[in-house]
Amino acid sequence: MIYLYAFLFSGFVCMLGQIILDNTKLTAGHITTALTIIGAFLSFIGVYPWLVNHVGGGATTLIMNFGHLLYQGAAEGYKSAGLIGIFSGMLTKSSIAITSAIVFSFILSLFFNPKD
């Protein structure tokens, strides 16, 4: 069942993004940034964790999840270390995405050239 929900949810968000991309002057950069902020917001109001439980991979593979991880990291940091914890905890959960993207991009750039 979770497969179906995952499919529907991510398909829905992507479709929404596609509609915005086709009909407004907003670029892909605008949309991904907006979705990251929305993800952080949904995490803040407690909706995103619920989404992850019910929709599984459908919610974790989207860029909204990135915003969600940022917020969760900051919130947990606050719980354990107060105000400073927001700063120290922010990037902890999203580290895997950022670090892997940086490392893989760099290594690959050493070996590949742009083609068309």
Partner 1 sequence: MASVKFDNVYLDSHFVIGGPKEKNGKLDNFDLTIDDYYYESKTVEQAEVNMQKTVINNLLSKKNYQDTDIDYLIGGDLLNQICATSYSARNFAIPFIGVYAACATFPLSLFHGANLIESGNAHNIICLTSSHSLSAERQYRYPIEYGNTKPNTATCTATGAVGVILTNQKTKIKIKSATVGKVIDMGIKDVNHMGAVMAPACADTIYNHLKNMNKTPSEYDVILSGDLGKVGVSILKEYYEKVYNQKLLNVIDAGSSIYLDSQNMYAGGSGPVCLPMVLVCKILQNPKYHRVLIVGTGSLHTPVLLNQSETIPSVAHAVEIEVLS
Partner 2 sequence: MGIISEGLINLYMMIFGYSRVDSMSVACLTVILITSMLTAFGVFDNLVEKGKCGLIIPTTGFAHSMASATIDYKKDGFIKGIGSNAFKLAGSAILYGVVAAFFFCILGVVING
* Interacting residue ranges for partner 2, rule: CB under 8 A: 3, 6-8, 10-11, 13-15, 17-18, 21, 28-29, 31-33, 35-37, 39-41, 43-44, 56-58, 60-63, 65-67, 70-71, 73-75, 78, 83, 86, 90-91, 96-98, 100-102, 104-106, 108-116
* Nearer to partner 1 (CB atom), residue 46 or residue 112: 112
Does position 116 bind partner 1 by CB under 8 A? Answer: yes
SS (H, E, C) 31-56: HHHHHHHHHHHHHHCCHHHHHHHHHC
What token pair was written down for 79?
A: 């719980």
Give the H/E segment covering residue 4.
helix 2-23
- Dihedral of CA 91/93/94/97: which sign? positive
Which stretches of the chain bind partner 1, using CB under 8 A? 21-22, 25, 28, 113-116
